[in-house]
Amino acid sequence: MGKAGKIVVSLLLAGSLLCACGSTARAEPTASALPAAVTVSAVPAAETAAEPEAERFVLTFAGDCTLGCHPRNYYAPVGFVQTVGQDYSYPFRNVMEWFGTDDFTMVNLEGALCGEDCYPVEKKHNFRGPADYVNILTENSVEAVTLANNHTMDFGQRGYDQTVQTLQEAELPYVERDGTALVTTERGLTIGLYGMVYYRLDLEDMAEDIEQLEAQGADVIVVAAHWGVEGTYQPTQAQIQAGRAAIDAGADIVFGTHPHVLQPVESYNGGVIFYSLGNFSFGGNTCPDDFDTALARQEVIRGADGTVELGELTLVPACVSSISGRNDYQPTPYAPDSPEYDRVLAKLAGTWEN
């Protein structure tokens, strides 16, 4: 995909499901992000309106989804498994207005979906959910997941293999670490995926894989990047270098996770970099230090001549929980113009100070 277009950023007027929970974490501003509430654009409405044959697609990205918990919390009343039970619609119920109205939704699946015959490896945090929790994804309009993260091996190779088998049997596309995948939406947009993990990154190999995705017919290329420092609100120089290298190599969208908190959005060379979209439906923590999250909805425009460019980017400020005081694993949009809503936008803009 070419890089001629720039990015339009609009601030979403969230729906009627609002969240009151808050955050006490602190951050310093960063100079690398888009300013809040400012439109940066080379896709003017008048120009695109003059192309009636252009097709418009919407891709939605949300952060870390741990559809399970640590073994010690597996039977805890407030843990993810006991909270959700067999109600597969529960975790994403309050965001279906966005998941269900786009062409493609992608999340970071952080943890194994496997049976009790899988055993945790030695580490501080091990996350597992039952294999049938793949229905949380397939029944709620999630079209792809990334397995490129530091928790998919929490239950060893057996747990990982069962997770992959579960996704395959559910016919849910996924991308692995250092791997690629092609996904074609119902309306015919082909999305190329590349999975990147920060501690095993070769920029030259990444560039080659991105070029291969383009050669294989990808209309738009997404790099799922698991990187950065947990709990930090600014991208590291390594993140910035890798994210920009991905765009320069031909990627259009860099979808970042791992810090568990929001980091800025950057417009770069016709592409967009989400340095971190934070937690989303995250069963790994019953009471995180920071409850803020966001959905990112990126418009993709394919012209009558087949050229593709990014259009409007809509950011949806949200809370990881629908209740105050603890995590109930049900992400819920904040009320527009509320302090929480504005705080999320400031974090995504890199201007938040507290």
Q: What is the pLDDT of residue 192?
A: 98
* Residue 2 is assigned to a structural domain of this protein: no
Q: What is the pLDDT of residue 18?
A: 40
* Residue 309 is assigned to a structural domain of this protein: no
CATH of the domain at 229: 3.60.21
Quote the CA–CA distance of 193 and 253 in Å, as a whole number.
Answer: 10
* Residue 188 is assigned to a structural domain of this protein: yes
Q: What is the pLDDT of residue 171?
A: 98
* Residue 79 is assigned to a structural domain of this protein: yes
Q: What is the pLDDT of residue 40?
A: 34
* Entry pTM: 0.88
* Residue 1 is assigned to a structural domain of this protein: no
- In the chain, the number of structural domains is 1
Q: What is the pLDDT of residue 96?
A: 98
Residue 121 sits in which domain range? 8-303+314-349
Q: What is the pLDDT of residue 70?
A: 87
* Residue 241 is assigned to a structural domain of this protein: yes
Q: What is the pLDDT of residue 121?
A: 83
Q: Per-10-residue mean pLDDT for the chain, 354 residues long? A: 42 39 37 35 45 88 96 90 97 98 98 91 90 98 97 94 98 97 98 92 94 97 97 96 97 98 97 98 94 98 94 98 96 96 97 82
Which residue in this structure is represented by tokens 């070029």? 211
* Residue 268 is assigned to a structural domain of this protein: yes
* Residue 354 is assigned to a structural domain of this protein: no
Distance of CA 43 to CAs 237, 308, 310, Å?
A: 30, 12, 8
Quote the CA–CA distance of 231 and 227 in Å, as a whole number.
Answer: 12
